[in-house]
Every structure is written in C-alpha cells, then in structure tokens.
Amino acid sequence: IAGEIAGIRPALVLDLGTGTGALAEAMLEYECVGAVEAIDVDPEMLDRARTRLRRFGSRARFRECSFEAPLPACDAVAACLALHHIPAMQRKRALYRHIFRALRPGGVFVTADVTMTADPVERERCYRIWTAHLVSHGIEERRAREHFDEWSSEDTYFPVDDELDAMRMAGFDAECVWRDPPNTLLVGRRQ
C-alpha cells in the first residue's frame, strides 16, 4: 500500500481506520509523502498511533472521527483492514463516493482488506486458508474458528467484484492489483 501511495508523491494522505498507525508509519517512511492524517474513531488507537508516529513530527496528523465525517481535499486515501467494519454495501458505496469527492484529480485510493466470494464452497475454502494462516502463527484451529464467529457480528466481507463495482460506481478507475484469498488489494484512481 505504502509504495502505491508514494508513487504519486502525495502532499496529503488520509489513513482511514489507522489503528496503531502501522500503515501511516510505512507511508511516512517515504520522503516524498508530505503528510499523513491518521483517522480513527477509537481514541485509544489514536494514542497508540501518536506514540508510534511521534518521530515524524508535523508530517503526522491525527483526527478522531468516523469514516463518514467530512474529509479534507487530499491526494490519496488508504485503508488497511478497516473497511470490513462497514456492514452494508449501500454504506460502503456511499463511503467510496465520499472518498472520491475528497480526492484531487490524479488521486489514488488504496484499500487492503478481506473479501469473500458469494459461492459457499469457495467461501469455505477461503476460511480454511485463513484458518491455516492463523494456525501457522500459533493460534489453535478451534480458536481460529471461534474468532471468525466472534468477528461475524462486526465484520462484513463482500465479494471482490462487488467491491470493485462499488468503487467504479463512485467514479474510480478500479482494479484488484493483488489477491491471496481471503486478502485483497484494490486500487482506485481518480482521473
């Protein structure tokens, strides 16, 4: 994500759902990135991001608000494992329009997140792959499946084609540039 963003040499990047600030940090490592505004609804996450990004001084900015809050004009918008918290495609389409309006011409929107297929057999295969990944990182298989059940009330994973269609309906030239199910990297450009 950071390299894709840095490629346009943005003066201002918005990091939606910044969490601990890991993505903001990766983007700020590029000298050609002017500033990153770390946006999150959770004040504790923003405090962690502030600590992590302190070394970047005024290049790192912080704002506690939801995705739907007014966005400043910017050159790029990034989101990493954040937009799956939007529970309905109608709301996601509205967010994509909101992001498109905030971007200056030539701007880019990059989102990395989980997508799932509508096909139940393929969907189960994706969950098996995801489970194996979690197990390889020390989480018991039973606990991995429990995580999925726990997350199901707050996480919504749409098919990649639905995500791309929503981005295109908002005005983006959109494409999936990388996919390793269930993870997906989508890029939308504003001409």
Q: What per-residue confidence (pLDDT) applies to 153?
A: 87
Residues of the chain with CATH 3.40.50.150: 2-116+157-189
Mean per-residue pLDDT of the chain: 97
Instruction: Judge whether residue 50 has pLDDT over 90.
Output: yes
Which CATH number, 1.10.1370.10, 3.50.50.60, 3.40.50.150, 3.90.1150.10, labels domain 2-116+157-189? 3.40.50.150
Q: What is the reported pLDDT for 182?
A: 93
pLDDT of 55 strictly over 90: yes
The average pLDDT across 124-150 equals: 94
Q: Return the pLDDT at 39.
A: 99
Average pLDDT estimate for 57-62: 99
Strand partners, 185: 112, 178
What pLDDT is recorded for position 47? 98
Q: Which residues make Cβ contacts (< 8 Å) with residue 144, sequence separation at least 6? A: 130, 131, 134, 135
Q: What is the mean pLDDT of residues 106-132?
A: 95
The pLDDT tens digits of the residues spanning 22-35 come to: 999 999 999 999 99
At residue 157, the pLDDT reads 96
Which amino acid is residue 167, in one-letter code? M
| Closest of 57, 58, 8 to residue 33, by C-alpha | 8
pLDDT interval class at 143 (50, 70, 90): very high
State the average pLDDT over residues 2-25. 98
pTM of the predicted model as reported, rounded to 2 decimal places: 0.95
The pLDDT confidence band at residue 65, using thresholds 50, 70 and 90, is very high
Q: For 90, which DSSP code?
A: H
Distance, CA of 91 to CA of 167 (rounded, Å): 12
pLDDT at site 108: 99
